[in-house]
Amino acid sequence: MQQKSQKKSELDNEKPAAVVAPLTTGYTVKISNYGWDQSDKFVKIYITLTGVHQVPTENVQVHFTERSFDLLVKNLNGKNYSMIVNNLLKPISVESSSKKVKTDTVIILCRKKAENTRWDYLTQVEKECKEKEKPSYDTETDPSEGLMNVLKKIYEDGDDDMKRTINKAWVESREKQAREDTEF
């Protein structure tokens, strides 16, 4: 009986091992699929991540700067998820920007510094890419030249069916022109 009590006191004196949080051995997935919208005061970015509402709130972190934000979701289904958006189109208010976690969705709310302004694009890079694609309208050149340039661009960017259709229309137009020229 004395041995039992001695063993019990030895067990009581043992210090418990340090509790160590399990390491996340998963990898980081870059988020590239998102949607965005805007109101007068906010630009809202919607990211769909299944099960994100079930992770602890401290595992969903967003860091804001005046022209960027960085989202990190830790240990969601054994993976980390990251989204970095640099060069926002216009400045945001770092202090007033925030995040919301809804069912399977993270909403990033970027507070516009200049309210009641419209953002046509989310980032400066997106704006530059889209504006390169826009055809330039030069009022001093021949209008038919502009039309030919548009058709050339459609032909270059088009698939095989589009190219066949344009070729067929061009050949038929030339044949019709040739017939009209020989009738005179």
Beta bridge partners of 81: 29, 73
**Cβ within 8 Å of residue 99, ≥6 positions away:** 60, 62, 71, 106, 107, 108, 109
Kindly state whether residues 39 and 128 are assigned to the same domain: yes
pLDDT tens digit sequence for 4-43: 444 444 444 444 444 444 444 578 999 999 999 999 999 9
Q: What is this structure's pTM?
A: 0.61
Establish if 13 belongs to a structural domain.
Answer: no
Do both 97 and 165 map to the same domain? no
- Statement to judge: residues 35 and 122 lie in one domain: yes
Give me the mean pLDDT over the 105-109 stretch: 96
113-124 mean pLDDT: 92
On whether residue 106 sits in a domain, the answer given is yes
Domain check: are 160 and 129 in the same one? no
Mark whether 100 and 125 lie in a shared domain: yes
Domain membership of residue 157 (yes or no) is yes
Question: Domain limits at 149?
Answer: 143-181
97 vs 145 pLDDT, higher one:
97
* Separation between Cα atoms, residue 63 and residue 21, nearest integer Å: 24
